[in-house]
Amino acid sequence: MKQLRNLIVVVLALGLAACGEKVPKTKGVYMLIDTSGTYTMELDKARKIANYLLGNLNSGDSLAMAKIDSASFSEKDIIAKVTFDSRPSTTTSQKHMFKRKLDEFVSTAKPSAHTDITGAVLQASEYLNETNAKEKYILIFSDLEEDLAKGYIRDFTIPLVSIKVVALNVTKLRSDNVDPRDYLNRLDAWEKRVYAGGGEWKVLNDLDHLNKLLGS
Amino acid sequence: MKLSELLMIWSDTPAVSTLIWLILILVAMYLGRSSAHKLINAATGLLNSVMKFTSESLVSLEQRIAKRNKQVILHEGSEATERAIEREFYRVSSIVAQDLSAYPTVQRKITDAINQIEADYQASNETPPSPPEWLEAVEAISNIQGNGDSAVDRILESIKDSLEQAHKDTLRAFRKSSLVRLQVMKKMLPSWRGLSQTVSHMNKSVTDLGERADFIDTQMQQYEKIRAEDDKVARLLTSSSLTQFFVAGLVLVIAILGGVINFQLIALPMSEMVGGTSEIGGWRTADIAAMVIIMVEVAMGLFLLESLRITHLFPLIGSMDDKMRRRMMIVALSILTILATVEASLAYMRDLLAMDREVLTQSLAGVVVTNAEFRWIPSIGQMVMGFILPFALAFVAIPLESFVHSSRTVIGLVVAGVIRTLAYIVSMAGQATEQAGNIIGYAYDMIIFLPLAMEQWARQIKDVRKTDSVEDVYDVDETVGGSKL
């Protein structure tokens, strides 16, 4: 009799566990846009990527967009951030709002003096860890040439556990054409830093294949 | 010890060692031939017996299942026939109650109509008034020719006028009389028609009753055959059950497709109600909610048709008193209507969400957002579909009942077929095992053919020697008792 009671309790517990409300695989995406020097000329491409993200992220997903400037480890650099509501109609409204903010930024963006990519990535990592998203992405729209202002310390390991870092549109600098090893070294250095932080690294230069952006 | 080491135990040369092993094995096999044959025969015989026993058990089981299937089919057939007979009796009862119970009234009506017609006929038979008696004398006088006397001519003229006047009066009286008769006849017409209608109505009722009686006769004959467990009827009922199974299955597939369309209509807008991010057991909560609504609609349809006594899946509902049943019917219909209205509104919301999404997509693609013409047509179409589909799904109870009932027969047939096939396979395997035993025995002998041949050869020599020695003995005997002595 006691065994039967225990069995019923176990079955009920299993049933409740199976029926418990679970949060599905949500995505958290943090896009960093380089605004240094002539890279502001590339902002239209960044808008295209952002539009792609807005079209593909769904309810429950989080999206944030921030600029990379001279001192990027700051919330002030966040252009727009949103966690999409569980109701589809509200999600659509949030996307419209996000797009408006992005358009406003693209039309008013000014070049920054320095490029603090490490600070921006650290800021992105902090944000993504707070979202509790199952899949976390940091998209870096930059040439990956870091140019820190005097006194800024950025030579440390960035915590990037279970975060996928995707470098987008890593345009070749003029010096790269002279010595392509600079370009390869930059990519290599960043790859090492990402893996050292526990993250994954990927480069996507061809923006016609954005469908691979949030894939494995 | 490894196998290779064991192989080389006799000699370092593999060929020699293998040969020694072969010879040893052959010798061992030759020495154990009799036991090996007995073992093979016993093992295969045992297997054959087990398989034979299994096959017989399966055949017996198959027969039992077939018998049960027949009983199920006959039981269902008898129930269906009983229902049909009951229904026909109910109809006959209705005809008798509605038409034939009023027979005395109808008969009185007919008698009254006939009396009325007879009276009218008698009234129409009255002879018209005849002309006055003196008219013939006056006619004779009026026919006399005048002789030129003016006084006589006047008198004759006067008589002629009188005669003509008398003719006219008579004719008028005749016409009047005819008119009266015609009016009497006219009064007969409604009675006649009424009589005709009453008779034809009675005729129709009686004919209908006759047809019902014929049908009841046919059903009763079938019922008697079912009670007598007639094989032909069982086969017919099985065939009918199979047809019902496939037809009901087809309709259920159509209903499932309808359910899928219904699901597509309400799954997206359901996210607005229960949220689009949560999951239960790996399924989106919104999808489950949409599925539950559809299932509830189907359940309400089941209850509605049960309370209408169209289906009989729940005997409890069927046995409820009429008042309770009517209440249940109203409740089920109300819930179904409310759910259909909810679905229609959800379908409309889906259209709005789709429109929102379309606008967003256009905006993200940098295209100028345009309002499509006749956008209201699909909106209304979706709303109508959302309202109609629940009611259409409610009728799924009818094929479901047929499917459930006929599936008993079909499952029984399939199980019986599978068991029959198994019995055949096991029986065949048993036979094959027995034959395999013989083959293994022959193969065994073939392996040790050399010692066997040597044994045979030795035996032949022995036989020859024995024969020779016997012949020698005979020769000695013949010599002792023969001419030599």
- CA-angle at B179, arms to B177 and B183, nearest 5°: 120
- Distance (Å) of CA B41 to CA B44, B49, B311, B427: 5, 12, 62, 18
- C-alpha to C-alpha distance for B336 and B385, rounded to whole angstroms: 14
| Chain A residues within an 8 Å CB radius of B275 | 59, 86-87
pLDDT of residue B207: 82
Given the structure tokens 């009396």, which residue do they identify? B115
For residues A63 and A53, is the Cβ–Cβ distance under 8 A? Answer: yes
Whether A27 and chain B come into contact, CB under 8 Å, resolves to: no
| Chain A residues within an 8 Å CB radius of B353 | 88-89, 92
Do B279 and A18 lie within an 8 Å CB cutoff? no
Kindly list the domain boundaries of chain B, sorted by start residue. 9-83+421-476, 99-214, 252-385
For residues B81 and B222, is the Cβ–Cβ distance under 8 A? Answer: yes
pTM of structure: 0.63
Q: How far A85 CA lies from chain B's nearest CA (Å)?
A: 8
Q: What is the ipTM of this complex?
A: 0.75
pLDDT of residue B129: 58
| Chain B residues within an 8 Å CB radius of A55 | 360-361, 364
Looking at CATH, the fold of the domain delimited by A26-212 is given as Rossmann fold (3.40.50)
CA dihedral of A194, A195, A198, A203, whole degrees rounded to 10: 60
A18 → closest Cβ in B276, B281, B364: B281
DSSP letters, B413-430, are HHHHHHHHHHHHHHHHHH
Tokens of residue B70, six digits:
């027949």
Q: How far B378 CA lies from chain A's nearest CA (Å)?
A: 20
Which percentage of chain A shows pLDDT scores above 90?
36
Residue A188 has pLDDT above 80, yes or no: yes
Work out the average pLDDT over A165-186: 81
For residues A95 and B278, is the Cβ–Cβ distance under 8 A? Answer: no
Kindly list the domain boundaries of chain A, sorted by start residue. 26-212
Do B284 and A58 lie within an 8 Å CB cutoff? no
Do B356 and A22 lie within an 8 Å CB cutoff? no
pLDDT of residue B383: 92
Whether B480 and chain A come into contact, CB under 8 Å, resolves to: no
Half-sphere exposure of A138 (CA within 13 A, CB side): 32
| Chain A residues within an 8 Å CB radius of B352 | 89
Helix (H) or strand (E) holding B484: none
Given the structure tokens 């497709």, which residue do they identify? B257
The C-alpha R_g of chain A, in whole angstroms, comes to 21
Do B353 and A21 lie within an 8 Å CB cutoff? no
Could you tell me which residues come within 8 angstroms of residue B311 by beta carbon, excluding any fewer than 6 positions away?
Answer: B302, B305, B397, B398, B400, B401
Amino acid making up residue B380? I
pLDDT of residue B101: 72
Work out the average pLDDT over A62-73: 89
Listed as ranges, residues in chain B with pLDDT below 70 are 1, 123-135, 137-139, 141-142, 144-148, 369, 472-485
DSSP letters, B327-342, are HHHHHHHHHHHHHHHH
| Nearest-Cα residue of chain B relative to residue A83 | B277
Whether A95 and chain B come into contact, CB under 8 Å, resolves to: yes
Do A24 and B279 lie within an 8 Å CB cutoff? yes
Do A87 and B271 lie within an 8 Å CB cutoff? yes
For residues A120 and A152, is the Cβ–Cβ distance under 8 A? Answer: no
Given the structure tokens 């077939």, which residue do they identify? B66
Closest CA to A43 of A102, A131, A116: A102
Phi, psi of A81 (to 5 degrees): -145, 145
| Pairing mode of beta strands A27-34, A78-83 | unpaired
Could you tell me which residues come within 8 angstroms of residue A122 by beta carbon, excluding any fewer than 6 positions away?
Answer: A73, A158, A159
- Distance (Å) of CA B104 to CA B111, B116, B190, B461: 10, 18, 21, 119
Do A86 and B271 lie within an 8 Å CB cutoff? yes
Other C-beta atoms closer than 10 Å to the C-beta of A35 total 24
Whether B354 and chain A come into contact, CB under 8 Å, resolves to: no
Do A24 and B278 lie within an 8 Å CB cutoff? yes
Q: How far B275 CA lies from chain A's nearest CA (Å)?
A: 5
- Distance (Å) of CA A130 to CA A30, A95, A126, A201, B469: 12, 21, 6, 21, 114
B360 → closest Cβ in A19, A23, A95: A95
* CB-neighbour burial class of residue B420 (10 A; exposed 0-12, middle 13-18, buried 19+): middle
- CA-angle at B295, arms to B290 and B301, nearest 5°: 130
Dihedral over Cα of B68, B69, B70, B71: its sign: positive
- Distance (Å) of CA B238 to CA B71, B252, B432: 11, 21, 36
Q: For chain A, what's the residue count?
A: 216
Question: Of B287, B353, B364, which to mutate for an interface test with A (greatest number of A Cβ within 10 Å)?
Answer: B364
Which percentage of chain A shows pLDDT scores above 70?
87
